[in-house]
Each structure stands twice: as C-alpha cells, then as structure tokens.
Structure 1
Amino acid sequence: MESAPSLLSQDQWRLIDQSTTGLIMPAIQSFAMDDTLCASVGAHLAPATARTWVHDNTVVLGIQDTKLPYLAEGLDYLRSEGFKPIVRNSGGLAVVLDKGVLNISLILPEKEKGIDINRGYDAMLELIRSMFAESGKNIEAREIIGSYCPGSYDLSIGGKKFAGISQRRLRRGVAVQIYLSVEDSGGRRAELIKEFYSLALKGEITKFTYPTVRPEVMASLSELLGKPLTVQDVMLMLLVELKARSGYLYSGQLTPHELDLLPGYYERIAERNALLEKP
C-alpha cells in the first residue's frame, strides 16, 4: 500500500515570522492567531502556513493546571520570578517560553479525508529531524519521564528533552505546534516549573496526576549539540527546509479576512485568562 505523501510537501508555504515582534505581543495573542489561521486555512482561504513566534518570560499553563489546589501560590511564585502566567485553549501542561525558546506552528487544511492525529505529529518530527540532520544526533520521539508537559511526542537527544509537540484542531484546520528550547539552560527552565508544582500542589493527592519534574532530563539544543545556537540560526534552518519542500515559499502577514477573524478568537482566550488575573 502506497504511503501518504508528507504533509510538509505543499504547493506553497506562507511564512508568518513573529520571532522578534512576538517579544512585544501578549502571548495569548499567539494562541488566538493560530485559531484564526486554522479557520482560514481550513476553509481554503489561505495556503498552508508556518508561523514562528517567541515570547519573553511567560509560563503557558494547560487547562488541567488551572485545577491545582493551591494554584494562587504557584502563580504568585511565577510572577515573583518575573514570569507572566497564561492559560492556553488546548490540552497539555505548563511550559516555559522565553527569548531562547522558538515556537513553530504548522497550519494545514484537513482536506477531504482529514489528517490523522499521529500524521500531524509525524510531520513536525520529520521537519525537526531534517533541520538538524547535519548534527549527526539521533532525535527520538517518546515520553521523557520527569520532563514538564510530558507526552508521547517529546523530542529528545540522549534521553534529554528539548521540545514538545501539541496539536489544535479547529474548523477543518490543524495547527501542529512545537516549542524548541534553543538557547541557555533547559534545566533552569525545568527548575521553575518544578517549584511551581511544588507550591501549587503541596504534596496533595489529586485526581489528575501532575508531573514530578526532574530538571536533569531537560536541556536546550545548544547544550545537546555542544555549540552556541540562536533562535535566528534555527529560523534560517527552518526557511531552508520549507523552501526545499514547496513549490513556493513566501513571507506574508494576515489577510484582511484573517484580521477580521482575529478579535473574536482573541476575546475567547482573553476571557479564559481573566480567571488568572489577581483580584
């Protein structure tokens, strides 16, 4: 039986680069942006889109994190460390964003038969492996116990996690999202989340099992590859790879239709985040 073609092979890719402008945007706007793109790309009003984004000193919580018994104490700790907590509109658990973490979203149309959930994850895994093929390192996809936001598509080198993949499906559009810990210390980011859970749980037994974070199982790509690597270095690798996979790669912005959609999606996630604001 012939295998399905790679989801990375598109007639054209639109790139929306917010790897620098994202530093002055509220992080919740990124999640509204991906929902907007899902609606537009899913309706075939825009081509397959890759969006890159970086936000400074933000901890993105999952919906389950908002049910922690001592959440307020955990949030106070994050704020005291200079991090803004937000909650995303999808699954998963707490992750750290800062200037050294590059996020990539691939927004694809579901088309007639739809995109199997593993096929979406596999496309992102294929992309990252291709981008870093010259390193000679084996990038594995499996759950790394002790990492924050653990999942079956944790990406690791030598048992140390540097990335996590998630998916968001909306209006026949699929956003496959990854955070890549590129610069600085992956372990230091993990220490922040470890302390957050310690304060927000206080050892209580809860229905949902939160991760016991072990900072030693997390690292950045700079650490794992043994050389300084910047977000902009990885951006260039992404551009080269997308160009090789498409008939046409171009840099674009939101269309007028997408600009009309964005405020509605932003309002929805802003309402969810109002619950985290201090009284």
Structure 2
Amino acid sequence: MSTPWTGAAGLALVVDPASDDAARELDRSIGLLREVAAGTRPPTLRLYRPSPTVAFGQRDARLPGFPAASRSAAARGFAPLVRRAGGRAAAYHRGCLVVDHIEPAEDAVAGTRARFAAFGNFFAHVLTGLGLDAHVGEVPGEYCPGEFSVHGRRDGVPAVKLVGTAQRVVAGAWLFSSVVVVEDSEPLREVLTDVYAALGLAWRPATAGAARDLEPGVTVDDVEAALLAAYAAVVRLDERGATRPA
C-alpha cells in the first residue's frame, strides 16, 4: 500500500473532543495549517467527530438558491457554513469521522492530484479491512462529486459515497481533509435532499449513505481504530499532545 504523504517521518496526533461549534471546528483546521506552514507545529494528524454541518462550496454560495439552502440546513439542525476548499455541498455529523492531515511543503501545490489518488487508495484500504467493498471513484449522481471519492459497492456496483476529500494549500504547507461517513445516514440524505433542491443541483439521494449501510455493526470507533493502526504501520504517531473524547 502506498502512503498518502512523502516527507513526514512522524505526525503529531490530535484527537479533538466533541464540540457544538461547527465554525470553530473548521477554523481550527486552518489554524493548524498556518502553524505547520510557519514551522511552529510539526506535521499533524487531526481526528474529530463533527457537529452537524452542511459545508457549502464557494460556487454554492454564489447561487441564487444559497440563502434558502442555508435555511433548509439550519431547519434540519445542521450548521450552514461555507468552506474554503472547493467542491459542492457536503453534510456530516457525529456519525462521521473527519481526518485532517497537514504537512509542510516548499511547493504545496505540486503533487495535488497525486495526493488525491494516494489518500483515496489509503482510505479504501482501511475500509476494506473492515469488511467493506471499498474503491476509489465517483458514484454516478453523488453529492459533492469528485473523481477520487471513496465509494462502497453493493453486488459489485458502486452504490454509496463513503469518503469525501478536499485539499487546501498555503505557502509552505498543505492540508488534506477527509470525511468518512460511518453511521446514521438518513439525516444526511434528508438535509442534502433539501439543500440540493434549493440550490437547483441534480443528484441521486441513494448515493448518500454510510459504511454501516453496507457492513452492519461497523462504528466510528472501529473506523478510527483501523485508521490509526494503518497510519501507525507506516509512520510514527506522537500522541504526547493528543486530546481524546471522553
């Protein structure tokens, strides 16, 4: 298995406790990225279980239906936010695991596509180890479509988007953020159905699912443990500064 990073011999592990402040959760990612770029923080792996959020892309925010889409998200109990990375609207909640991998780089733009491919394969490998038929590639009609989405197959056919990925680069560092959808997919389908209707964007609601829909019994704890084991097999994880959920 190829690793989705090139330079880090070790990663500082941060496992953030649950929060009810979706905006602060997103801002913390950018704060860590800037610290790594400035050299005041080592390469970092951050994991957290997000509060209910609909993260809109920059293009979404320019659509006439954006105000109505934001109201629809809030009515479902999801905080409507506009993220700084690209893509279309994506929804997540505490049944998901967000993974932020941050590394310094002299030319952070170089290798952008290669990182998408490598991280996609890495997450597919982790989910396959938990019993899912996971592969890299867009599911036809998926929300927030991406060439390097990780999907789960049903009867050999791409069925459900399981991992969405995005990147942000600044001078001196890159951030690769991934959302693994593990449990409780119904609220995600509901809010995305409302949001995409308001935005006027076509999609197939059946593509919004979770790992548990395909492999009953899998939990966020299982995915976190498998992911950390996969990282620890190839890179040193420094947990001295880690905080963990109660």
Q: Pick the structure with more helix per residue.
A: 1
- Deviation, structure 1 residue 195: 1.9
State the distance in 1 between where 2:184 and 2:4 align.
Answer: 32
Worse overlay, 167-176 or 72-81 = 72-81
Aligned partner of 1:191 in structure 2 is: 190
1:100 aligns with 2:110: no
Flag as ranges the 4+ runs of structure 1 deviating above 3 A: 111-115, 135-138
Aligned partner of 2:140 in structure 1 is: 145
2:150–2:162: 8 Å Cα contact kept in structure 1? Answer: yes
Instruction: Select which of 51, 54, 71 maps to 1:56.
Output: 51
- Deviation, structure 1 residue 219: 1.8
- Deviation, structure 1 residue 62: 1.0
Unaligned runs of 5+ residues in structure 2 are: none
| Residue pairs, 1:251-270, within 5 angstroms | 251-252=240-241
Count the aligned residue pairs: 237
Cα distance change on mapping 1:99 and 1:248 into 2, 3 Å? closer
Aligned partner of 1:15 in structure 2 is: 13
Report the residue type matching 1:17 in the other structure.
V
State the distance in 1 between where 2:3 and 2:193 align.
Answer: 40
2:124–2:150: 8 Å Cα contact kept in structure 1? Answer: no
State the distance in 2 between where 1:47 and 1:239 align.
Answer: 18
- Deviation, structure 1 residue 71: 2.3
2:98–2:178: 8 Å Cα contact kept in structure 1? Answer: yes
1:11–1:248: 8 Å Cα contact kept in structure 2? Answer: no
Question: Cα deviations across residues 17-68 of structure 1 (Å, max 9, x unaligned)?
Answer: 11xx2333x2222332222222222343322211112222211111111122
Provide the aligned C-alpha RMSD in A. 2.4
1:131 aligns with 2:126: yes
Q: Which has the higher Rg, Structure 1 or Structure 2?
A: 1
State the distance in 2 between where 1:66 and 1:23 align.
Answer: 25
State the distance in 1 between where 2:3 and 2:149 align.
Answer: 23
1:143–1:151: 8 Å Cα contact kept in structure 2? Answer: yes
Q: With structure 2 as the length reference, what TM-score do the two structures score?
A: 0.85
The 3-state SS of whatever aligns with 1:23 is coil
Cα distance change on mapping 1:230 and 1:41 into 2, 3 Å? same
2:138–2:146: 8 Å Cα contact kept in structure 1? Answer: yes
Aligned partner of 1:244 in structure 2 is: 233
Cα distance change on mapping 1:64 and 1:241 into 2, 3 Å? same
- Deviation, structure 1 residue 114: 6.1
1:173 aligns with 2:170: no
Unaligned runs of 5+ residues in structure 1 are: 202-209, 255-279
1:9–1:245: 8 Å Cα contact kept in structure 2? Answer: no
